[in-house]
Amino acid sequence: MTDPQAGEGTPILELRGVTKSFGAIQVLHGVDLKVFPGQVTALVGDNGAGKSTLIKSIAGIHPIDGGEILFEGRPVSVTGPRDSAALGIEVVYQDLALADNLDVVQNMFLGRERKRGILLDEASMEAAARDTLAKLSVRTLKSVRQLVSSLSGGQRQTVAIAKAVLWESKVVILDEPTAALGVAQTRQVLDLVRRLADTGHAVLYITHNMVDVFEVSDRVAALYLGRMAADVPISTVDRGQVIELITAGRSGNLGIAPAVAEASI
Ligand SMILES: Nc1ncnc2c1ncn2[C@@H]1O[C@H](COP(=O)(O)OP(=O)(O)OP(=O)(O)O)[C@@H](O)[C@H]1O
């Protein structure tokens, strides 16, 4: 794991005071968040804390109502998924959005196929897919021409993550990638998450799993009732504190004031 305190200059992605409501219901209340290149930031929070809303706001699916998004230190406007993709932000959602009837290469290039004239440039797409998988040290796939329907859950996650990385993404957001996986496949995906950061990506990693948090992250950001209770290096907190931040919004001198938390219920 990289030293979380080292090289922590400008965050590649920063949220300042982000708010988001759906009709009369305010879901995000002035959320601050910093995400650094080469680091995994675990985004934790109880059911309904606002994690999905937050990542969908970053992705432009639910554009923010207030506050600021900064990318590489500059304020940016993210009003749709194209804006986030153009910045180099890719999200791997839980449903993975893979097509079972297509192979690995076809899935990685789905919707962004390379062409030579009117024909698909299969050779170049296959080479790029192999290259991306090799850079991520993925050795669990037998063939890039395997149908996705024949892959295990862990292999499918791997393909979805590699697809996100293929587009020169700088920030990769993963929505509970190990939620449905067994022990060995979880291990493979966690190794891949670490390699994503080690190859320079900033990774925002949503999880409910405390073992995963401490295994793979450099920072932990805890949302509580739509407020950022803490966004700190993992080395400064223990498991009990993270659980308190998730369940109560505070732990010792960390987190949001109890009065603020009570006011939001
Ligand atoms: N489109 C929407 N319209 C109205 N309310 C919404 C909408 N999307 C989310 N919410 C509400 O926002 C709150 C936060 O939901 P969100 O899905 O972001 O939480 P979460 O932390 O991702 O939870 P989980 O861990 O269960 O996935 C919830 O109270 C939810 O009902």
Give tens-digit pLDDT for 74-92. 999 999 999 999 999 999 9
Q: Per-domain residue ranges for the chain? A: 8-88+170-265, 99-169
Residue 47 near ligand 1, beta carbon < 6 Å: yes
The Cα-based distances of 98 to 26, 30, 217, 243 in angstroms read 32, 34, 26, 33
For 50-73, write each residue's pLDDT tens digit: 999 999 999 999 999 999 999 999
Q: Which atom of ligand 1 is nearest to the CA of 45?
A: 21
Using CA atoms, how far apart are residues 111 and 115, in angstroms rounded to an integer? Answer: 12
Q: What is the CATH number of domain 8-88+170-265?
A: 3.40.50.300
Residue 264 near ligand 1, beta carbon < 6 Å: no
- What band does 8 get if pLDDT is binned at 50, 70 and 90? low
**Radius of gyration of the chain measured on its C-alpha atoms:** 19
Cα 58 to ligand 1 centre (Å): 15
Cα 177 to ligand 1 centre (Å): 18
Residue 45 near ligand 1, beta carbon < 6 Å: yes
The structure tokens listed for 34 are 């910093």
CA 220 to chain centre: 12
Q: Where is pLDDT greater, at 182 or 64?
A: 64
pTM of the model: 0.89
CB 17 within 8 A of CB 11: no
Residue having the nearest C-alpha atom to atom 29 of ligand 1: 48
ipTM of the complex: 0.96
